[in-house]
């Protein structure tokens, strides 16, 4: 960890109207300027960790992200919408404790946080060039220029840029006109990666266990029920057919009537 941040032991943060946390006081007020100084809360840090996960295939270095932030945990309340945080040495990726993350920005040009921004941008560009078929390869300069333009607009409006928003702008970046296709490309890649050979083989004991699992029998029950309904329906149809046949068969009385109506053969004359 950088020596410049070694003296920072605690800080007091407040919840802003934008629902982000901002630093009000620090233990080292000489080196740290709290004007517009933001801090990432545990929920936001968890989200960022999820966003960098796909970048591991494109060279993401977890240690660079660990080094770029100073970890804090809640020590006590410090008034309305304010809490005092105490510095800890836990890992953001491995600790189960809810940690706040303060970017180490004492050296804005060559510090660990500046290195992280450059590293994430390069990884993101590699990923986008891999999943999209651009006419020409996307470059780091193009991404940085577009993001910087949006940041300049906020500066002109007098708005401080929160660290979480700065990182999200990189990790969520997609060139204009390609936004709707990123999710489809990822889903397509995920489906293509599924191979039958990768599916686990079941041994004989597992198969018997699954066969005895009542929760898996609903398909069979439904099929049996459908078969029974089909038999009943067929039986009902047969009954209807029999009734119909009975209606069509002539009765004995009808036969007698028909015989009466038939002309009788003429009698032979005696010679």
- 271 residues of the chain, pLDDT tens digit each: 444 455 799 999 999 999 999 999 999 989 999 999 999 999 999 999 999 999 999 999 999 999 999 999 999 999 899 999 999 999 999 999 999 999 999 998 899 999 999 999 999 999 999 999 999 999 999 999 999 998 898 889 888 999 999 999 999 999 988 875 555 455 444 444 444 444 444 455 555 554 555 544 545 555 555 555 555 455 555 555 555 455 554 544 454 444 444 444 444 433 3
Residue 173, classed as helix, strand or coil, is coil
What per-residue confidence (pLDDT) applies to 240? 52
Is there a domain that residue 210 lies in?
no
Please give the tally of structural domains in the chain.
Answer: 1
SS3 state of residue 30: coil
Asked whether the whole model's pTM tops 0.85, one would answer no
Of the candidates 97, 81, 88, the residue with the CA atom closest to the CA atom of residue 18: 81
Residue 202 lies in a domain: no
Closest CA to 86 of 98, 95, 96, 94: 98
Q: Residue 74, by phi and psi: left (phi above 0), alpha (psi -120 to 50) or beta?
A: beta
Which residue reads 């209807």 in tokens? 240
Is residue 31 in some structural domain?
yes
Q: How far is the C-alpha of 13 from the C-alpha of 22, rounded, in Å?
A: 5
CA proximity to 41, closest of 9, 74, 81: 74
Give the model's pLDDT for residue 182: 52
Residue 255, token pair as written in the block: 């036969």
Range of the structural domain that residue 106 is part of:
3-175
167, 170, 173, 175 alpha-carbon torsion, rounded to 10°: 150
> b vs e for 107-141, b when ≥16 Cβ sit within 10 Å of the residue's Cβ?
eeeebbbbbbbebbbbbbbbbbeebeeeeeebeee
Q: Is residue 256 part of a domain?
A: no
Give the H or E element holding residue 10.
strand 10-15
Cα gap 99→240, rounded to integer Å: 75
Q: Which residue has the tokens 């910087």?
A: 148
Q: Is residue 99 part of a domain?
A: yes
168 domain-assigned:
yes
- Continuous H helices in the chain: 42-52, 62-67, 112-131, 140-156, 163-171, 179-192, 204-211, 218-248, 252-261
The pLDDT of residue 131 is 93
Report the C-alpha gap between 114 and 121 in whole angstroms. 11
Whether the CB-CB separation of 48 and 171 falls below 8 Å is answered with: yes
Q: Per the domain annotation, does 198 fall within a domain?
A: no
What is the distance, to the nearest Å, from the Cα of residue 201 to the centroid of all Cα atoms in its chain? 28
Give, in order, the Cα–Cα distances in Å from 134 to each of 125, 131, 164, 209.
12, 9, 28, 50
By the 8 A CB rule, do 69 and 62 touch?
no
- Distance CA(68)–CA(101), nearest Å, equals 9
Calpha distance 143→172 (Å, rounded): 11
Domain assignment of residue 180, yes or no: no
User: Cα–chain-centroid distance for residue 57?
Assistant: 18
């Amino acid at each position: 960890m950088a020596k410049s941040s070694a003296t920072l032991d605690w800080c007091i943060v407040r919840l802003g109207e934008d629902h982000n946390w901002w630093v009000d006081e620090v233990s080292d007020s000489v080196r740290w300027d709290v004007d517009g100084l933001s801090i990432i809360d545990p929920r936001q840090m968890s989200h960022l960790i999820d966003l960098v996960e796909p970048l591991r295939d494109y060279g993401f270095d977890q240690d660079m992200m660990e080094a770029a932030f100073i970890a804090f945990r809640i020590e006590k309340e410090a008034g309305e919408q304010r809490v005092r945080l105490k510095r800890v040495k836990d890992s953001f990726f491995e600790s189960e404790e809810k940690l706040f993350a303060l970017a180490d920005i004492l050296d804005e040009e060559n510090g660990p946080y500046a290195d992280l921004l450059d590293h994430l941008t390069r990884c993101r560009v590699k990923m986008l060039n891999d999943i999209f078929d651009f006419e020409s390869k996307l470059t780091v300069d193009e991404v940085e220029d577009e993001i910087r333009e949006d940041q300049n607009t906020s500066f002109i409006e007098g708005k401080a840029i929160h660290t979480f928003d700065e990182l999200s702008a990189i990790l969520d970046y997609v060139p204009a006109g390609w936004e709707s296709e990123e999710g489809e490309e990822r889903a397509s890649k995920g489906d293509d990666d599924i191979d039958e050979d990768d599916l686990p083989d079941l041994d004989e004991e597992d198969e018997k266990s699954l066969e005895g699992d009542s929760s898996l029998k609903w398909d069979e029950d439904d099929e049996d029920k459908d078969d029974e309904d089909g038999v009943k329906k067929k039986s009902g149809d047969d009954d209807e057919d029999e009734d119909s046949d009975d209606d069509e068969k002539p009765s004995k009385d009808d036969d007698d009537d028909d015989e009466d109506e038939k002309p009788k053969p003429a009698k032979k004359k005696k010679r």
